[in-house]
């Protein structure tokens, strides 16, 4: 099955792609950077570095970390983080819908060989 991957280059700030967006989604779902990292089979440091890259890219935090305490720490998306996920997924859907007939045509040509 052919697929299309979207990666947005926000020059000179950096790149936004499905991996960073998935990390944000998993942080939102688990309430934890470390749990999100484990689910994606990456180190906590790598996940934290990606969160920091996003902060640098947008000029403000996309994740708010909560310090530990009686009930432990955690993390949640900031309103900006939620908006980044929403905008990226909306854009991804639009690109896939627009590209679908072209992808089918190319796949048909590839299937002829």
Quick: pLDDT tens for 30-73. Answer: 999 999 999 999 999 999 999 999 999 999 999 998 877 666 67
User: In a 3-state reduction of DSSP, which class is residue 8?
Assistant: strand
Domains of the chain: 10-111 (1.10.10.10)
- The model's pLDDT over 74-90, given as tens digits with 9 standing for 90+, comes to 999 999 999 999 999 99
Q: What is the pLDDT of residue 97?
A: 96
């Amino acid at each position: 099955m052919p697929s299309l991957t979207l990666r947005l280059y926000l020059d000179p700030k950096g790149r936004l792609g499905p991996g960073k967006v998935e990390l944000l989604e998993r942080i939102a779902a688990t309430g934890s950077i470390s749990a999100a990292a484990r689910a994606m089979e990456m180190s906590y440091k790598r996940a934290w570095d990606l969160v920091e890259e996003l902060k640098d890219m947008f000029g403000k935090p996309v994740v708010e970390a909560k310090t530990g305490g009686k009930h432990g720490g955690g993390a949640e998306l900031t309103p900006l983080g939620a908006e980044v996920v929403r905008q990226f997924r909306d854009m991804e859907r639009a690109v896939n819908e627009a590209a679908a007939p072209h992808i089918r045509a190319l796949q048909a040509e590839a299937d002829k060989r």
